[in-house]
């Protein structure tokens, strides 16, 4: 309980209130796009900037956690709020990415069928606000309220275009799994309070749980938050829901909402349970790696650009969870510094993913608006029509592919560094097994590069596969600013990873009692030790630029810059059309070939005598048939069995009453 009002927390609450007011303002003139989109959303972006700034303040060294109790909620359990380093980090994430997304959204939303812009504005800002409250909540009730409000508002945003049946189906699946996850989380809290019956998080922190119950709570948390984060096998909703939503919403969901799940998992496993037996880490690590590989493999065979990105989100979530698992593992053996390294890797990857995944989703949004096409098979050559989007999307592509000197590489570098320390684990077969994790990680990262080349190459490069694409054009300035903001973030965090390390250090310090150094200087990071490993994004960037520049100048000086524009040579074969380019399916082929067991494939092969031969392949997830359909059928059967009770015959009904009476009388005697 705080006597004097905690400044930063109050400021954050004020900003949340501002968001809600903006949302409600949308209802004033729900159908007036100019007002809603061009005024309210940019204002929301400004608020996000304020949020980010406040969070940065809260991450400064020497900041002690701030708490606050609001006279709302249940009589016995008013709303508790708390702003510590961990929550501040995720607030920062929401603020940074939110600013860019809101700016973009200002240009993106327009009147159309489906939900009115004003209502969308309300749902959008409620979504943002609830995410912030999830992170700030300090008691189970407020957390659950914020958590489900988040699910609900995002559900309405997903189903904005509810006239399309697929979108309705996606929304239903999403909310259903979200709800099941929420139930698991509720149970998790129920176990966590450990007899204190304090449903404040403070009480849970103190709660001394018996190991068995601790493990139960951990597993429940893993299920509950894993369902939201999209861990295999609870991932099925993600590739349906994220593409269905309007692009800014997809960006919010992929970039930010998944991170709230990571936050929840961190809270439970590190803050409340304060680490545990080594198999927790092993489990999280294994699940994470499998999810990552799974996501990358499936992303490689997608033919819808937003589905591809959604699967890539699954992959990144997998990477994050493997980092968390590694941290738990180290912590179980008291290797705090290495745990801090792994945890920092995971946290920084959260931040990076928030930036570049939002960037890419927004880029697909612009493409969607410019072409009305989501199918990779009908895109291509847009770099010449939409140079801005193409250029900014290239940054995102390179970043998510984990290439130096951009930010994606930094977190993967840190994660690999953490894997290098696994031989320190004093457990024979573990320290032999875990390096294989590094191998899986490497494979995933390389696959991600493959996927992103496919993504960028098929959409922006090559020749347009449809005539209509020639009308495509760059979006307005608001969109460009939004994209530019996020791209700049990718470059900046890539060049100066020290900043991100400082922020994550502020988190790992309180959680683990250890933090990796934010590098000897701004220019260089050496998380463990200088002679062990060091990396400098800015130097690499400068190096490449320098060499490129020097080469360019030399070539021009010594020789000439003459260029002749001709038709493509293409092995001297002039009869090639745009349709002969590799399609998205074609790009998937090697992966389908190598990772066959992952898929359930239905091929339609043309016969040699077919006059108009066509080749169709349908790839789907084995888990859907293996896991979800059986559950559904089981419930159906039970329902049928139950329906017998209501047979329609009065005599039978009377008999029920009669038997109940007799039974109870016997019971009483």
Q: Which is nearer to other proteins, 63 or 534 (CB)?
A: 534
**Which two tokens mark 310?**
């959604």
636 binds other proteins (CB under 8 A): yes
Q: Is 556 helix (H, G, I), strand (E, B) or coil?
A: helix
596 binds other proteins (CB under 8 A): no
Q: How far is CA 195 from CA 12, 191, 192, 219, 489, in A?
A: 33, 8, 8, 19, 45
627 binds other proteins (CB under 8 A): no
In the set 104, 456, 496, 598, which binds other proteins (CB under 8 A)? Answer: 456
HSE, side-chain direction, 13 A CA sphere, residue 84: 16
522 binds other proteins (CB under 8 A): no
Tokens 């032999």 correspond to what residue? 432
Q: Are 281 and 330 in contact (CB under 8 A)?
A: yes
Smallest gap from Cβ 486 to other proteins, in A, equals 20
Q: Which is nearer to other proteins, 99 or 353 (CB)?
A: 353
Q: Which is nearer to other proteins, 4 or 565 (CB)?
A: 565
For residues 54-113, which are near other proteins according to CB under 8 A?
Answer: 72-76
HSE, side-chain direction, 13 A CA sphere, residue 486: 43
- Range in contact with other proteins (rule: CB under 8 A) among 286-294, 329-337, 474-482, 533-541: 533-541
28 binds other proteins (CB under 8 A): no
Q: Which is nearer to other proteins, 568 or 608 (CB)?
A: 568
Smallest gap from Cβ 205 to other proteins, in A, equals 18
For residue 29, give the H/E element and its range: none
Smallest gap from Cβ 245 to other proteins, in A, equals 15
Q: For residues 354 and 351, give the distance between their C-alpha atoms in angstroms, rounded to a whole number.
A: 5
For residue 68, give the H/E element and its range: strand 66-73
Q: Which is nearer to other proteins, 429 or 609 (CB)?
A: 429
587 binds other proteins (CB under 8 A): yes
Q: How far is CA 646 from CA 640, 641, 658, in A?
A: 11, 10, 16
Q: For residues 92 and 445, give the distance between their C-alpha atoms in angstroms, rounded to a whole number.
A: 26
Q: For residues 341 and 411, give the distance between their C-alpha atoms in angstroms, rounded to a whole number.
A: 10
Smallest gap from Cβ 189 to other proteins, in A, equals 8
543 binds other proteins (CB under 8 A): yes
17 binds other proteins (CB under 8 A): no
For residues 561-580, which are near other proteins according to CB under 8 A?
Answer: 562-571, 576, 578, 580
380 binds other proteins (CB under 8 A): yes
- Range in contact with other proteins (rule: CB under 8 A) among 13-21, 171-179, 204-212, 251-259: 171-179
Q: Which is nearer to other proteins, 377 or 509 (CB)?
A: 377
Q: Which is nearer to other proteins, 2 or 463 (CB)?
A: 463
- Range in contact with other proteins (rule: CB under 8 A) among 340-348, 395-403, 495-503, 617-625: 395-403
Sign of the CA dihedral 225, 227, 230, 234? positive
**Which two tokens mark 71?**
């006279």
634 binds other proteins (CB under 8 A): no
Q: Which is nearer to other proteins, 177 or 514 (CB)?
A: 177
202 binds other proteins (CB under 8 A): no
Smallest gap from Cβ 79 to other proteins, in A, equals 9
Question: Cα 96–101–102 angle (5° rounding)?
Answer: 100
548 binds other proteins (CB under 8 A): yes
Q: For residues 84 and 88, give the distance between their C-alpha atoms in angstroms, rounded to a whole number.
A: 6
Q: Is 81 helix (H, G, I), strand (E, B) or coil?
A: strand
In the set 10, 39, 180, 492, which binds other proteins (CB under 8 A)? Answer: 180
**Which two tokens mark 239?**
């590739």
Smallest gap from Cβ 291 to other proteins, in A, equals 18
- Write each residue from 286 to 325 as x if it is in contact with other proteins (CB under 8 A), else as -, in one continuous string: ----------------------------------------
Question: Cα 273–220–313 angle (5° rounding)?
Answer: 100
Q: Is 139 helix (H, G, I), strand (E, B) or coil?
A: strand
In the set 17, 601, 605, 664, which binds other proteins (CB under 8 A)? Answer: 664
Strand partners for 600? 620
Q: Which is nearer to other proteins, 618 or 633 (CB)?
A: 633
Give the pairing of strands 78-83 and 599-604: unpaired
Q: For residues 559 and 183, give the distance between their C-alpha atoms in angstroms, rounded to a whole number.
A: 70
- First CA to last CA distance, the chain: 54
**Residue 319 burial class via C-beta count within 10 angstroms: exposed 0-12, middle 13-18, buried 19 and up:** buried
Q: Are 337 and 345 in contact (CB under 8 A)?
A: no
638 binds other proteins (CB under 8 A): yes
In the set 31, 110, 163, 603, which binds other proteins (CB under 8 A)? Answer: 163
Q: Which residues contact 625 (CB under 8 A, 6 or more apart)?
A: 600
Orientation of helix 407-420 relative to helix 497-512, angle to 10°: 40
- Range in contact with other proteins (rule: CB under 8 A) among 238-246, 337-345, 461-469, 471-479: 461-469
Smallest gap from Cβ 292 to other proteins, in A, equals 13
Q: Which is nearer to other proteins, 5 or 545 (CB)?
A: 545
Q: Which is nearer to other proteins, 629 or 662 (CB)?
A: 662
For residues 424-453, which are near other proteins according to CB under 8 A?
Answer: 431-432, 435-436, 438-439, 442-443, 445-447, 449-450, 452-453
Q: Which is nearer to other proteins, 62 or 657 (CB)?
A: 657
How many residues contact other proteins, by CB under 8 A? 139
For residues 236-255, which are near other proteins according to CB under 8 A?
Answer: none
647 binds other proteins (CB under 8 A): yes
209 φ, ψ (degrees, to nearest 5): -95, 150
Q: For residues 493 and 407, give the distance between their C-alpha atoms in angstroms, rounded to a whole number.
A: 5
Smallest gap from Cβ 226 to other proteins, in A, equals 17
Q: Are 312 and 299 in contact (CB under 8 A)?
A: yes
For residues 399-428, which are near other proteins according to CB under 8 A?
Answer: 401-404, 409, 413, 416-417, 420, 423
Q: For residues 124 and 105, give the distance between their C-alpha atoms in angstroms, rounded to a whole number.
A: 10
Q: Which is nearer to other proteins, 555 or 605 (CB)?
A: 555
Question: Cα 636–642–648 angle (5° rounding)?
Answer: 125
**Which two tokens mark 638?**
């039970």
470 binds other proteins (CB under 8 A): no
Q: Are 294 and 598 in contact (CB under 8 A)?
A: yes
In the set 208, 211, 593, 611, which binds other proteins (CB under 8 A)? Answer: 593
Q: Which is nearer to other proteins, 4 or 644 (CB)?
A: 644
């Amino acid at each position: 309980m705080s006597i004097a009002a905690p400044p930063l927390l109050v400021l954050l609450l004020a900003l949340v209130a501002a968001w809600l007011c903006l949302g409600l303002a949308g209802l004033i003139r729900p159908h007036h796009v100019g007002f809603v989109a061009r005024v309210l959303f940019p204002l929301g972006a400004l608020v996000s900037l304020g949020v980010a700034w406040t969070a940065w303040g809260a991450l400064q060294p020497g900041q002690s956690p701030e708490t606050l109790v609001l006279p709302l909620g249940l009589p016995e359990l008013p709303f508790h709020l708390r702003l510590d380093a961990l929550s501040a980090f995720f607030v920062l994430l929401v603020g940074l990415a939110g600013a860019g997304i809101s700016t973009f959204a200002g240009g993106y939303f327009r009147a159309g069928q489906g939900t009115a812009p004003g209502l969308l504005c309300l749902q959008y800002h409620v979504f943002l606000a609830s995410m912030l409250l999830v992170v700030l909540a300090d008691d189970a009730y407020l957390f659950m309220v914020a958590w489900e409000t988040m699910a609900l508002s995002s559900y309405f945003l997903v189903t904005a275009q509810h006239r399309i049946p697929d979108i309705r189906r996606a929304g239903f699946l999403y909310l259903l799994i979200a709800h099941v996850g929420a139930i698991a989380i509720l149970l998790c809290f129920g176990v966590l309070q450990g007899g204190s019956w304090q449903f404040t998080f403070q009480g849970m922190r103190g709660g001394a749980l018996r190991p068995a119950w601790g493990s139960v709570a951990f597993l429940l948390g893993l299920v509950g938050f894993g369902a939201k984060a999209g861990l295999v096998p609870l991932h099925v909703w993600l590739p349906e829901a994220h593409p269905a939503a309007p692009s800014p919403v997809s960006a919010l969901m992929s970039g930010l909402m998944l991170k709230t799940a990571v936050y929840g998992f961190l809270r439970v496993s590190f803050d409340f349970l304060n680490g545990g037996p080594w198999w927790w880490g092993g489990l999280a690590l294994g699940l994470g790696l499998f999810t990552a590989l799974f996501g990358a493999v499936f992303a490689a065979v997608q033919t819808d650009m937003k589905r591809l990105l959604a699967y890539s989100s699954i992959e990144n979530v997998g990477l994050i969870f493997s980092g968390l698992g590694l941290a738990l593992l180290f912590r179980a053996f008291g290797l705090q510094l290495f745990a801090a390294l792994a945890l920092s890797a995971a946290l920084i990857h959260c931040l990076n993913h928030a930036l570049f995944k939002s960037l890419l989703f927004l880029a697909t949004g612009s493409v969607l608006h410019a072409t009305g096409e989501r199918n990779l098979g009908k895109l291509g050559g847009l770099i010449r029509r939409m140079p801005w989007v193409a250029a900014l999307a290239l940054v995102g592509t390179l970043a998510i592919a984990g290439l130096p000197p951009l930010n994606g590489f930094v977190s993967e570098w840190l994660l690999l560094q953490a894997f290098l320390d696994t031989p320190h684990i004093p457990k024979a077969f573990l320290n032999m097994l875990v390096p294989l994790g590094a191998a899986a990680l490497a494979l995933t990262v390389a696959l991600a590069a493959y996927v992103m080349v496919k993504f960028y190459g098929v959409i922006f490069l090559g020749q347009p596969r449809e005539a209509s694409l020639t009308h495509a054009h760059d979006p307005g300035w608001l969109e460009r600013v939004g994209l530019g903001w996020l791209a700049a973030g990718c470059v900046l965090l890539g060049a100066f990873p020290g900043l991100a390390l400082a922020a994550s250090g502020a988190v790992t310090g309180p959680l683990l009692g250890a933090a990796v150094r934010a590098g000897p200087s701004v220019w260089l990071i050496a998380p463990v030790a200088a002679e062990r490993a060091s990396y400098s994004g800015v130097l690499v960037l400068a190096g490449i630029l320098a060499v490129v520049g020097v080469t360019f100048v030399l070539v021009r000086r010594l020789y000439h810059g003459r260029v002749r524009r001709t038709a493509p040579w293409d092995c001297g074969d002039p009869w090639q059309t745009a349709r002969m380019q590799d399609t998205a399916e074609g790009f998937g082929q090697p992966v389908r070939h190598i990772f066959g067991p992952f898929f359930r494939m239905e091929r339609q092969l043309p016969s040699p005598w077919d006059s108009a031969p066509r080749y169709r392949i349908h790839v789907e997830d084995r888990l859907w048939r293996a896991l979800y359909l059986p559950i559904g059928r089981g419930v159906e059967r039970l329902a049928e069995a139950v329906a017998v009770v209501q047979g329609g015959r009065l005599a039978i009904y009377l008999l029920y009453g009669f038997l109940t009476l007799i039974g109870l009388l016997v019971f009483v005697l």
